[in-house]
Homo-oligomer: A and B are copies of this chain.
Amino acid sequence: MSSKPAKPGAKSGQQPEKSLDLRALQRTPGFMLRLAQLKFFEGFYEEFAALGLTPATYAIFAVIRDNPGVPPSSLASLLRLRLPNLIKILNELESSGFIKRNRSKADRRAVELVLTPRGAKLIHDGAKLTEPYNQKMLAPLSEAEQRMLIELLNRILPL
């Protein structure tokens, strides 16, 4: 919804620092991963701002969509969030009518999370923005390279 400001350079924009020797950091995967993540998150906020989705809520919706009834504790450990912090988000999502908490019949301590129709529509709309967004973030890479990147990331992660 926002147009691009035409003037570069004045603020802390992304003007590459040309004259510095950054080769050490460029060969440091942890540093490059951090920069990449920042880039993706900033881009995400721009792209999904209209829907009100954040990286966290997008992931939450996607997991509940594909795993209806998933409990908060699983969701938290999967997304690497502390349970209390996730609970806060779930409270907002429920009071906004996007998700519903059902008490498990089998174990009444447990909660089963499901999407409401409204939540299902939101993640469905969000999913339509996903392809162009990823394409934009990964623009410098060919299709094969994009698949390669994803595969390499999956290989180093214990998911």
Interface readout for A134-159 with B: 1 if CB under 8 Å, 0 if not? 10011111000110111111111111
Q: Which of B9, B26, B83, B138 contacts A154 (CB 8 A)?
A: B26
Q: In the complex, which residue of chain B has the Cβ closest to the Cβ of A8? A: B67
A75 → chain B closest CB, angstroms: 9
A93 within 8 A of B: no
Q: Which of B13, B67, B138, B159 contacts A9 (CB 8 A)?
A: B67
Contact, CB under 8 Å: B16 / A44: no
Contact, CB under 8 Å: B153 / A8: no
Chain A interface residue number, banded:
35 or more
Contact, CB under 8 Å: B63 / A20: yes
Contact, CB under 8 Å: A25 / B59: yes
Write out the residue numbers on chain B whose beta carbons fall within 8 Å of the beta carbon of A20: 63, 66-67, 70, 74, 78
Write out the residue numbers on chain B whose beta carbons fall within 8 Å of the beta carbon of A22: 63, 66, 78, 159
Given that A9-B68, A17-B78, A145-B152 are contacting pairs, would A33 and B36 also be in contact in the complex, using a CB cutoff of 8 Å?
A: yes
Q: List 14 A-B contacts (CB under 8 A).
A: A1-B151, A12-B77, A16-B78, A17-B77, A20-B63, A21-B66, A29-B40, A29-B146, A30-B55, A35-B157, A36-B37, A38-B80, A139-B156, A149-B149
Q: A residues bordering B, Cβ < 8 Å? A: 1, 8-9, 11-17, 20-41, 44, 55, 59, 62-63, 65-71, 73-74, 76-78, 80, 82-83, 106, 110, 130, 134, 137-141, 145-146, 148-159
